[in-house]
Amino acid sequence: MHPRTAAPQPHPARGRIDEVAVAATTQTGDQGLTLGRTAALLAGLPRTVPGFAIDRMCAGAMTAVTTTASGIGFGAYDVVIAGGVEHMGNHPMGSGADPNPRFMSERLVDPAALNMGNTAENLHDRFPAITKARTDAYAVASQDKLEAAYAKGQIQPDLVPVATLKPGHGWTVNSVDEPPRPGTTFEDLAALRTPFRAHGRVTAGNAAGLNDGATAAVLASSEAAAELGLPVKMRLVSYAYAGVEPEVMGIGPVPATEKALKNAGLSIEDIGLFEVNEAFAVQVLSFLDHFGIPDDDPRVNRYGGAIAVGHPLASSGVRLMNQLARQFEEDPSVRYGITTMCIGLGMGATVIWENPHHSKYTDYSGTVAAVVHEANSVATTEGAAA
């Protein structure tokens, strides 16, 4: 006989969750019905736990984090769950979109700006120094860095295996990210077509892939984290959102970062690690050029980025945070890092974090909320080219 195995006991934090915020860009079907509340019920949380949904396109999960973290700082919450999902296999980007007719009739927004690939080509026009050769080289480096991170086991600890049902394939368990293309070469990318413009510069190879994915994080006040024994991975220092011309939405991380740095009383020189969402290589390079950061700076996207791992829209913000938290643990010499991303319709988002492993980290009890990452990225599935 095999000895009886005791059932795992729920973490004491489970009974202390005050809110569940889950983002999705397409809030219909399995991503509808006030997704945060739906997720709380499906997860078996006490029915007293409320929830809500958020839509800020690509920055959905990031907005879920900053919104609920603000509630913690205000004293309304002690422990929350925040994240995002995008089932792009069922809800393709832009599917069923019905923009306000004034967008077109009054030319409030160039119709081309509703296609993110077009906005990336516009960035190339605005910054001619960012050539296709540079973006392809950056994309190859992203694939290489992700491959190296997988080989070192730096990605796997933050993945949660999920069961998925694929037509014609039955049920399977996804335990790794599917989109990466290890071994991609510069020559491979140079041969790809440019679907958004004849003789353009944006391709499926130097843009993020479209795939399914979900992420979640546990956030807590410093007092609650200490009381419940939650491992503090990062502290939220500052955040900012900014609007830009929709036609060049990829430049959004620049003003958002400038605002977040100003709010925190920091400069770009204080930032030791950058997690920049790679919607398009040109968008990342425009950010780096603005701040005088080399294309191959080792502080930037150490594990690669969305060009390699994919960008399931509203879920990606927490993936950036998980990867930064892991890097903080590996590199205590870094005190501050940022997660930043561009957002459709012309916006940018940036969050500044502090590393609790740094020698100058202080006990912030009674002041700013601590962020605890416990429920992490779900392996993305059904990868497809942009």
Q: What letter would DSSP give residue 8?
A: P
**Residue 19 pLDDT:** 97
Asked if pLDDT for residue 139 goes beyond 80, the answer is yes
Task: Label residue 112 by pLDDT band (50, 70, 90).
Answer: confident
Asked if pLDDT for residue 376 goes beyond 70, the answer is no
Task: Label residue 218 by pLDDT band (50, 70, 90).
Answer: very high
Stronger pLDDT, 53 or 176, i.e. the higher one: 53
Coil, helix or strand at residue 23: strand
**Residue 1 pLDDT:** 39
**Residue 13 pLDDT:** 74
Residue type, 245: E
Q: How many domains does the chain have?
A: 1
**Residue 183 pLDDT:** 95
Residues 242-281 pLDDT 10s: 999 999 999 999 999 999 999 999 999 999 999 999 999 9
**Residue 374 pLDDT:** 44
Q: Note whether residue 383 is domain-resident.
A: no
Q: Note whether residue 290 is domain-resident.
A: yes
**Residue 28 pLDDT:** 84
Q: Note whether residue 83 is domain-resident.
A: no
Residue 139 to residue 297: CA distance in whole angstroms:
14
Q: Note whether residue 198 is domain-resident.
A: yes
**Residue 94 pLDDT:** 66
- Which ranges constitute the DSSP H helices of 170-268? 186-190, 222-228, 253-264
Coil, helix or strand at residue 240: strand
CA neighbor of 147 nearest in space, from 110, 193, 179: 179
Q: What letter would DSSP give residue 56?
A: B
CA neighbor of 349 nearest in space, from 240, 273, 251, 261: 240
Give me the domain span that covers residue 316: 110-153+162-206+237-360
> What backbone phi and psi angles, to 5 degrees, belong to 107?
55, 35
Residues 315-337 pLDDT 10s: 999 999 999 999 999 999 999 99
Residues forming a β-bridge with 54: 23
Q: Which residues are catalytic?
A: 58, 311, 342
- Mean pLDDT of the region 94-119: 81
Stronger pLDDT, 364 or 36, i.e. the higher one: 36
Which residue is listed with tokens 């933050």? 158
Coil, helix or strand at residue 15: helix
- Whole-number mean pLDDT of the chain? 89
Q: Note whether residue 1 is domain-resident.
A: no
Residue type, 185: T
Tell me the CATH number at 174: 3.40.47.10
Residue 71 to residue 369: CA distance in whole angstroms:
9
**Residue 3 pLDDT:** 40
- Mean pLDDT of the region 196-214: 93
Q: Note whether residue 281 is domain-resident.
A: yes
- Two tokens, residue 87: 């089932």
Q: Which helix (H) or strand (E) holds 271?
A: strand 271-276
**Residue 382 pLDDT:** 34
Stronger pLDDT, 75 or 99, i.e. the higher one: 75
Residue 222 to residue 235: CA distance in whole angstroms:
9
CA neighbor of 63 nearest in space, from 281, 337, 349, 338: 349
Residue 257 to residue 177: CA distance in whole angstroms:
29
Task: Label residue 312 by pLDDT band (50, 70, 90).
Answer: very high
Stronger pLDDT, 365 or 16, i.e. the higher one: 16
Asked if pLDDT for residue 292 goes beyond 70, the answer is yes
Residue 133 to residue 312: CA distance in whole angstroms:
26
**Residue 315 pLDDT:** 95
**Residue 128 pLDDT:** 96
Torsion, CA 171, CA 319, CA 22, CA 98, rounded to 10: -90
- Which ranges constitute the DSSP H helices of the chain? 35-42, 60-74, 102-105, 116-126, 132-151, 186-190, 222-228, 253-264, 281-290, 306-309, 316-330
Task: Label residue 370 by pLDDT band (50, 70, 90).
Answer: low
**Residue 364 pLDDT:** 66
**Residue 101 pLDDT:** 84
- Mean pLDDT of the region 30-44: 92
- Count the Cβ atoms, other than its own, within 10 Å of residue 292: 9
Residue 64 to residue 318: CA distance in whole angstroms:
9
Q: Note whether residue 93 is domain-resident.
A: no
**Residue 8 pLDDT:** 53
Q: What letter would DSSP give residue 112?
A: G
Please give the span between the terminal C-alpha atoms of the chain, in angstroms, as a whole number.
53
Coil, helix or strand at residue 270: helix
Q: Note whether residue 135 is domain-resident.
A: yes
Asked if pLDDT for residue 166 goes beyond 90, the answer is no
